[in-house]
Amino acid sequence: MASAVLCVINDGTTAVCSTFGRKVVVMDARNSLQKITDMLYHRSAVFDLVQMPDSNYLYSCGEDRRLACVDKRMWEVVNDLELEAYAQTMSLRQGQLLCGTTDGKMLFIDPSDLKIINEIFIGSGGLRQVRLNIGSQMCITKDRFFKVFTPGLHPKLFAESEEFDVEPSRFDYYDNDLVVACGDGSIFFHTT
């Protein structure tokens, strides 16, 4: 690829990469990652990709403030939404698409028509990552906080970390274990 890869997702059949160079590249995961197609439907870096297992749809968000829904049967955009501020992170689960924007909002979007159902302001620094779980919605902010909200379209703040000394960059949560990676290379582990 001619530019940095920002995100990779894999459904067992295809591996899909988003790039800093505006492209989304689709490769055959069963055939030595042979390129199937590449698409240029964003005007700037493509930050994140999400899809549900066994779904025909792929969602992407980019620095151009565009949120796009692509039909994987044709590899064409079938719906899109222009946001007020760009989304750097998305999460998709059980008919809900959650976007974290650079102006500090969590957007709750219906993935079937890309209509914004609700939005809540989290923090002025913007959101670095969001994640939908079975019983919660989580995010890390650029102003150094990790926050957990109740599930649903009208969430309430459930828990919040102390301010991190350094900016958290990514987190993962699995089987009651939380791992937060920070910009200085440090990693924090927490078991719930």
Give Cα separations from 177 to 56, 119, 174, 192 (angstroms). 31, 28, 5, 6
Residue 163 carries which DSSP code?
P
| pLDDT (0 to 100) of residue 2 | 82
Q: Which two tokens stand for residue 100?
A: 């974290």
User: Which residue ranges in the chain fall short of pLDDT 50?
Assistant: none
Strands 57-62 and 137-141: unpaired
CA atoms of 192 and 25, how far apart (whole Å) = 37
Q: Could you tell me the pTM of the whole model?
A: 0.92
CATH topology of domain 5-166: Methylamine Dehydrogenase; Chain H (2.130.10)
Torsion of CA 135, 94, 172, 116, to 10 degrees: -100
CB neighbour class for 105 (10 Å; exposed up to 12, middle 13-18, buried from 19): buried
| pLDDT (0 to 100) of residue 177 | 92
| pLDDT (0 to 100) of residue 91 | 98
Give Cα separations from 67 to 77, 101, 115 (angstroms). 10, 11, 11
CA atoms of 131 and 181, how far apart (whole Å) = 15
CA atoms of 157 and 138, how far apart (whole Å) = 10
CA atoms of 161 and 150, how far apart (whole Å) = 15
- Asked if residues 160 and 171 have their Cβ atoms less than 8 Å apart, the reply is no
| Residue closest to 57 by CA, chosen among 22, 103, 95 | 95
Q: Which amino acid is at 121?
A: F
| pLDDT (0 to 100) of residue 176 | 87
| pLDDT (0 to 100) of residue 19 | 95
Edge-to-edge strand order for the sheet containing 14-19?
5-10, 14-19, 24-28, 34-39
Each residue of 49-80: pLDDT tens digit?
A: 999 988 999 999 999 999 999 999 999 999 99
| pLDDT (0 to 100) of residue 168 | 93
Q: Name the residue ranges covered by the structural domains of the chain.
A: 5-166
| pLDDT (0 to 100) of residue 55 | 92
| pLDDT (0 to 100) of residue 125 | 86
Give Cα separations from 134 to 40, 149, 165 (angstroms). 34, 12, 29
